[in-house]
Structure 1
């Protein structure tokens, strides 16, 4: 018999870890939007130090030549960018500790539901892989493909964590009444998840185009829009389809499930996230690409997929119980 308090502690720790991963995605977005990705041109140290310098005088007089020989041309020390990137690394390290604690606490399921333990352990190894991938991103001098891969692995870690925590309370999820939902609801939900991933992929292409424009022009940010590629307009128009698809899902949840159901609360959360993501995207389009909107837009996209995935898991468990 698994101790109930131990299960509760595991879920709380797991939820904290999920929130921390989303936070590091937000911080990573801030790093990229602020151009601080090379604020620390080496890894795991920063300018050869475990605690970064706060002023250029703390660096060797010839540090420009040192890093130019390592393949990092025009390295300029900027304390704000350096500490922004270093903070991103510290947050990433904290994720490692949290995921280790989550995996360790999941051992209580070894006698009752072994997949929970192995899922948590997989997340732990993925976080280690993500740390190595982060060092590769720095070593590649911020190649767009490496940055995109780094983000997709973070998305995978979150999805596995969500499934792990949801599986630990499947007895509760199996009691959800979904009998009144349309038969095509699950299919539309899967399509919506695919649309979100496609939109994220297009968003990374737009982001890469923005990076190219930022490094190839001296124009102010508000004039960058004139140089955007066609995929930007596809990405922008596709958001309308995503909005209406997700609103349909939320409307059907409102019509078909109990008003106190976790499904409806998740549905309302999903609607709020989609609207927030679109508003952030509109501000990027109409307000001259304000840096503050970029990480918010990225975070909302990741949260949307996470909420859709949670709804999918809930629906799968509820339908499995009903079919049985």
Structure 2
């Protein structure tokens, strides 16, 4: 198998992972800024492939046109329009990268067919995600549709991470993880479950915030907290359990590996992400829900799961795990 072709596949895969996370961040910015209906139609935006920059470029009766399509009170806002349009461009670019990754994965057809089929699955899912994005617009931003759209992004990035990690099994297999006990993997699995639970609670909080924001017509952010549901306080308190669980994991990694080890460095990244997520959450809670903190908080949650997932897969491919399997 051509080493350069394998290297190109891995580079494309890493670029795709970055792009998917960029899509998640862009989606968070759209949601936090209330720009979800900045483009009331799909795939065009106000009937154009490149949206207008001024209301004068739209038909004089565009309000009535979109009201007849079910989008009442449509008002052109260039900032919101271009925010949503940028989100769509990033999504389209990500789709193209997934296509390139799927094409590059054909080199594994003889050596490791699952990598090829996983890449095709990712391509199918990114297409489904694009359709789901259009459905979100068609639903006039129904909260459950937005949540489903976000969870699908989480699934896509997990599959891409697994695909790329599988392509590096030989390299990961050189790492000796024999000093880690089976208990570590169990706690790591539990930590991943905690993260997913936290994300699920976060989506419920986010849906509640969307409703509260609508009630306040997206102003007076400092008063939104007064109407938060009980799930918000559970979500907030649960973050401390997640932090201490992952600190235990990193402590064990530090005992098992030297400073340059990939898994230990991954652990340090994990803790940095969790602390950043907590800081962003505190900022949202105490500083009147600043829009900039919302997409950061969302992105950190997705990155935390991605890093935990990579750590779990990498350890399963390490020397100690391979010896236990065979």
TM-score range, shorter chain: over 0.9
Aligned partners of 1:137 and 1:143 also within 8 Å = yes
> What residue number does 1:12 align with?
11
Judged with a 3 Å threshold, the aligned counterparts in structure 2 of structure 1 residues 208 and 131 are, in CA distance, closer, same or farther, namely same
> What residue number does 1:87 align with?
86
TM-score by length of 2: 0.98
> What residue number does 2:212 align with?
213
Provide the C-alpha distance between the structure 2 equivalents of 1:310 and 1:304, rounded to a whole number of angstroms. 10
> What residue number does 1:303 align with?
303
| Aligned-partner SS, 1:54 | coil
> Which stretch shifts more, 280-289 or 313-322?
313-322
Deviations 1:30-77 (A, max 9, x none): 000000000000000111111101111111111111111111111110
> What residue number does 1:246 align with?
246
Paired residues for 1:1-324 under 5 Å: 2-217=1-216, 220-318=220-318, 319-323=320-324, 324=326
Deviations 1:149-173 (A, max 9, x none): 1011111110010010000110111
Provide the C-alpha distance between the structure 1 equivalents of 2:101 and 2:310, rounded to a whole number of angstroms. 19
Provide the C-alpha distance between the structure 2 equivalents of 1:212 and 1:147, rounded to a whole number of angstroms. 13
Provide the C-alpha distance between the structure 2 equivalents of 1:123 and 1:183, rounded to a whole number of angstroms. 31
Query: Structure 1 residue 222: deviation in Å?
Result: 1.0
TM-score by length of 1: 0.98
Query: Structure 1 residue 258: deviation in Å?
Result: 2.8
Q: CA RMSD in A?
A: 0.9
Query: Structure 1 residue 260: deviation in Å?
Result: 1.7
Provide the C-alpha distance between the structure 1 equivalents of 2:245 and 2:132, rounded to a whole number of angstroms. 34
Query: Structure 1 residue 316: deviation in Å?
Result: 1.1
Tell me how many residue pairs correspond in the alignment: 323
Query: Structure 1 residue 311: deviation in Å?
Result: 0.5
Deviations 1:163-198 (A, max 9, x none): 100001101111221111133111110110011011
Provide the C-alpha distance between the structure 2 equivalents of 1:215 and 1:305, rounded to a whole number of angstroms. 30
Provide the C-alpha distance between the structure 2 equivalents of 1:110 and 1:182, rounded to a whole number of angstroms. 35
Query: Structure 1 residue 322: deviation in Å?
Result: 2.2
Provide the C-alpha distance between the structure 2 equivalents of 1:277 and 1:217, rounded to a whole number of angstroms. 26
Residue ranges of structure 1 left out of the alignment (5+ in a row):
none
> Which stretch shifts more, 22-31 or 167-176?
167-176
| Aligned-partner SS, 1:175 | coil
Aligned partners of 1:53 and 1:79 also within 8 Å = yes
Provide the C-alpha distance between the structure 2 equivalents of 1:234 and 1:4, rounded to a whole number of angstroms. 49
Deviations 1:123-162 (A, max 9, x none): 0111000000000000000001110110111111100100
> Which stretch shifts more, 75-84 or 55-64?
55-64
Aligned partners of 1:181 and 1:257 also within 8 Å = no
| Aligned-partner SS, 1:53 | coil
Provide the C-alpha distance between the structure 1 equivalents of 2:85 and 2:265, rounded to a whole number of angstroms. 36
